Amino acid sequence: MRIITKISEMKGYAHKAKKNGKVIGFVPTMGSLHDGHVSLIKASQKESDITIVSIFVNPKQFGKGEDLKKYPRNLARDLLILKKEKIDVVFIPAEKEMYPEGYSTYVNVEGAITENLCARSRPGHFKGVATVVAKLFGIVSPCVSFFGQKDAQQAVVIKHMVKDLNMCVEIRVMPIIREKDGLAMSSRNTYLSEKERKEALAIYASLKHARTLLEKGERSAHVIKGEIKKVLLSGKHVKIDHIEVVDAENLKPLKKVKNDTLIAIAVHVGKTRLIDNMVIRT
């Protein structure tokens, strides 16, 4: 496993690999790796000759009062995981390497996909996400890049950016990986106390309840959102950020559930913000 920290070296490696006809698969991460990340790595290894993983906690996607400083970091553990998975390259740039003094260029995807859902409570977040991913694509030059369905809005933003800017990379969105009890895997799960962890299970329970209603024929977004709310509020430490029923492609709100509908949830359990979702294929 090769560790690269400099942009020039990473670009040189990628250029040589592609010149030799290699297919580069790329998994961008902020570290604190878990089985969700590993699933993306394994997917890349199936499709690609070379798998590159980046570890970079991107300051541009954290807003005022968010958890940048306390975001979980464990590089030694991450490297052990990546070595075990036999990845080819890990790219670990410093903040000053990615954003040198005088940096002033940003990518801003506009429209409903960056106005609804998480964007309402995290202004500027997706501008930061799009900017860092665009930079990483330019540095790593991947043929295909892998993202998780848990961050559904992020995946939609990235796909639109790639399409609008004619980037030569295919985007794969892989299924949510869950803990044995159903909680969607997230680096932020480590923030939860034992009691909060139990209450967080209401998130997945509410999605399963919504699926049961749909199987019985319910199609009203208003009714489904109301039922999800009831389940979520069963926990004393759960505070709802949003419950949305939207088109899975453009994230516009829907009154009726149809094919390719995204049911998206964001809550605070104690001080920890968690997200989860479910895509409906009718």
Range 187-280 classified under CATH 3.30.1300.10: yes
- Name the active-site residue from 37, 125, 237, 242: 37
**Over the chain, what is the mean pLDDT?**
95
Predicted local distance difference test score (pLDDT) of residue 1: 97
Determine the number of helices (DSSP H) and then strands (DSSP E) in the chain.
Answer: 10, 9
Q: Which CATH class is domain 2-174?
A: alpha beta
Q: What are the extents of the domains in the chain?
A: 2-174, 187-280
Catalytic residue check, 37: yes
Q: In the prediction, which pLDDT does 282 show?
A: 66
Residues of the chain with confidence (pLDDT) below 50: none
pLDDT in tens, 40-91: 999 999 999 999 999 999 999 998 878 788 888 999 999 999 999 999 999 9
Same CATH fold assignment for domains 2-174 and 187-280: no
The percentage of the chain sitting over the pLDDT mark of 70, rounded to a whole number, equals 100
